[in-house]
C-alpha cells in the first residue's frame, strides 16, 4: 500500500472555512481508484492510503496539476507519497 501525505500551515482567517470542508474532502475520496482509507485533521494534516503506488502517485500529481496543494492563505509544508510499512487498528 501507498500513502499520500499532506501537511498545511493555514492562515487563521481561513481555518474555519477549511474546517467546514473537511467532511466533503473526506467523502469525495471514497470513489477514487485504489483508495483504501484516509484521515483528515481539523488543523491541516491528512493521510490517504491507496492499494497501489500508481493510484497514489496519480492522485498526488492531479492535486498539483489542479493547484489544490497551494492556495491563498494555505501554505503547503509536506506533499509526498510514501510506501506504507505497517498499519494497526483497534478492535
Please write the tens of the pLDDT for every residue from 64-81: 999 999 889 999 999 999
pLDDT at position 79, please? 98
Domains assigned to the chain: 2-83 (3.30.70.100)
pLDDT at position 91, please? 80
Report how far residue 64's alpha carbon sits from residue 19's, in angstroms, rounded to the nearest whole number. Answer: 21
Tell me if the pTM is above 0.75.
yes
Q: Which long-range contacts (CB under 8 A, 24 or more apart) does 27-35 make?
A: 32/59, 33/58, 35/59
The answer to whether the CB of 79 falls within 8 A of the CB of 69 is yes
Closest by alpha carbon to 58, among 22, 33, 21?
33
Whether 25 has a pLDDT exceeding 90, the answer reads no
Report how far residue 70's alpha carbon sits from residue 9's, in angstroms, rounded to the nearest whole number. Answer: 10
Amino acid at each position: 500500500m501507498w500513502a499520500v501525505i499532506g501537511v498545511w500551515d493555514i492562515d487563521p482567517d481561513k481555518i474555519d472555512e477549511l474546517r467546514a470542508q473537511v467532511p466533503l474532502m473526506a467523502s469525495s475520496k471514497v470513489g477514487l481508484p485504489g483508495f483504501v482509507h484516509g484521515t483528515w485533521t481539523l488543523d491541516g494534516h491528512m493521510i490517504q492510503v491507496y492499494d497501489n503506488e500508481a493510484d497514489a502517485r496519480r492522485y498526488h500529481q492531479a492535486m498539483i496539476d489542479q493547484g489544490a496543494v497551494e492556495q491563498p492563505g494555505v501554505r503547503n509544508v509536506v506533499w509526498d507519497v510514501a510506501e506504507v510499512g505497517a498499519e494497526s487498528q483497534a478492535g
